[in-house]
């Protein structure tokens, strides 16, 4: 992961930051109730890098990110700018 300006991330760099979507019953409920999608991210990823990677990989705009370290890795809970933004992305990714 480079320290480049997060706005100029390549798709390859972005995919090293956001590793994969994370879906459980609890995170599935966050999609509808709180307009959030959960991702497993690189342990060293910053919130700014996560938002920039979201724009590059999924062409989606996040408004805030909360992170937590767990046994399954570092998770990022991304809230979306647009209403239904989480549902739209989850549908495109085949999560719902």
* Domain map (residue ranges) of the chain: 8-92
Report residue 3's pLDDT band, with 50, 70 and 90 as the boundaries.
low
pLDDT of residue 72: 85
Asked if residues 96 and 88 have their Cβ atoms less than 8 Å apart, the reply is no
Q: Which helix (H) or strand (E) holds 86?
A: helix 85-92
Q: Please, what is the average pLDDT of the chain?
A: 92
pLDDT tens digits for range 31-66: 999 999 999 999 999 999 999 999 999 999 999 999
Fold of 8-92: Alpha-Beta Plaits (3.30.70)
């Amino acid at each position: 992961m480079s320290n480049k300006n997060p706005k100029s991330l390549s798709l390859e760099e972005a995919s090293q930051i956001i590793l994969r979507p994370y879906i459980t019953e609890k995170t599935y409920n966050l999609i509808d109730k709180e307009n959030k999608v959960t991702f497993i991210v690189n342990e060293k990823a910053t919130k700014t890098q996560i938002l920039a990677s979201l724009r590059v990989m999924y062409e989606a705009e996040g408004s805030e990110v909360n992170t937590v370290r767990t046994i399954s890795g570092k998770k990022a809970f991304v809230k979306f700018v647009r209403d239904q933004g989480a549902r739209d992305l989850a549908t495109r990714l085949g999560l719902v």
